[in-house]
Chain A
Amino acid sequence: MLNFYGKPFASRMLVGTALYPSPKIMQDAIRASGADIVTVSVRRESAGGKTGDAFWSLIRELDVTVLPNTAGCRTVREAVTTAKLARELFGTNWIKLEVIADDETLQPDVVGLVEAAGILAKDGFEVFPYTTEDLSVAMRLVEAGCRVVMPWASPIGSARGIVNREALKLLRQRLPDVTLIVDAGLGAPSHAAEAMELGYDGVLLNTAIAKAADPVAMAGAFRLAVEAGRNGFEAGLMGPRDFASPSTPLVGTPFWHAVS
């Protein structure tokens, strides 16, 4: 069973709470996904505002575990402070750690990420780092105390699916004891199935569901894809071959004559 820092979870799908057309659709989509874990963020509240209270009520109505993120953080100090603020707000030591290098690609700043991960792990956080497909960075994250690593498929919200399959395969091979989650860039259920077929422990997605024409139906489609991919992986995929290999037996082929 999937586990995060020793805690088991039935669903291998983690779902975000952003970008939905309405609060009701967000709740219905999360239910349809079967996700046990949802991501949330920490944002400024305006004077007299109750946006945070309202959002928190919506989440509390769902039976889910919350994973706060450090979205928007560009420095170690911002990310570490945001994680501590999230701990105050949500009462959890879980943190999806994002340290972002660039506005266009929203790619991780891997140097800052590793530094922040180390600081937070020492402070008792259970870190879920959002990273690139780079093996050396993943290794540093594990050394820094992460037991979960979350490499991207492609940039956040780009819906391109897995663009560096070989690198993700390598991570799975070299980090067999780390909980690996493909996070970011998934666009279609087939992308999620592909991640699961590679042996990844789960997927995290938001935009692909929220921006679908029918988010609730899409959440259900992704749920099936994650199950199918995982079942395929556990059933033992045969693997690709260079050349054809007939399925129908050769013996007894009609009109066949031995060449003399």
Chain B
Amino acid sequence: MQLIVNGERKDIRAARLDALLAELEYDSAHLAIALNYDVIPRAKWSETALKDGDEVEILTPRQGG
């Protein structure tokens, strides 16, 4: 299916959030995820299903003022 991940269209095989991270080779220990503007806690990644057209934001700590 096609998802929008961090603003970019991607063809994805994964059906769940944890699988998405693995498919995209995300390796960071400090990540937070929003699925269609809903924040999904880490504990729920393995049980959160994805569907075609979903918008996923994968965020991390960064510098800021």
Q: Which residues of A contact B (CB under 8 A)?
A: 16-20, 26, 39-53, 55-56, 59, 68-69, 71, 77, 81, 84-90, 156-157, 205-207
Contact = CB atoms under 8 A, between A and B. Distances in A.
B27 interface: yes
Contacts of A88: 32, 39, 41-42
Given A49-B28, A52-B31, A81-B39, A44 B65 contact: no
Among B28, B37, B58, B64, max chain A CB count under 10 A is at: B64
Among A47, A68, A90, max chain B CB count under 10 A is at: A47
B59 A43 contact: yes
B6 interface: yes
Contacts, number: 112
28 contacts: A16-B64, A16-B65, A39-B65, A41-B61, A42-B59, A42-B61, A44-B57, A45-B60, A46-B6, A48-B25, A48-B26, A49-B27, A51-B60, A51-B62, A52-B28, A52-B30, A53-B28, A53-B30, A53-B60, A55-B61, A56-B61, A71-B64, A81-B38, A85-B39, A88-B32, A88-B39, A89-B59, A206-B65
B34 A40 contact: no
Contacts of B60: 42-45, 49, 51-53, 55, 89
Contact of A40 (B6, B7, B42, B62): B62
A46 B5 CA distance: 10
A207 B65 contact: yes
A59 B24 CA distance: 27
B7 A44 contact: yes
Among B25, B32, B37, B57, max chain A CB count under 10 A is at: B32
Interface string B25-57: 111111111100111011000000000000001
A84 B61 CA distance: 13
A17 B28 contact: no
A-B interface, 4 closest residue pairs, ranked by CB to CB distance from nearest = A52-B60, A41-B64, A16-B65, A206-B65
Contacts of A87: 39
Given A44-B7, A50-B27, 15 more contacts: A17-B63, A26-B63, A40-B64, A41-B61, A41-B62, A42-B62, A48-B25, A48-B27, A55-B60, A55-B61, A77-B37, A81-B34, A88-B42, A89-B31, A89-B32
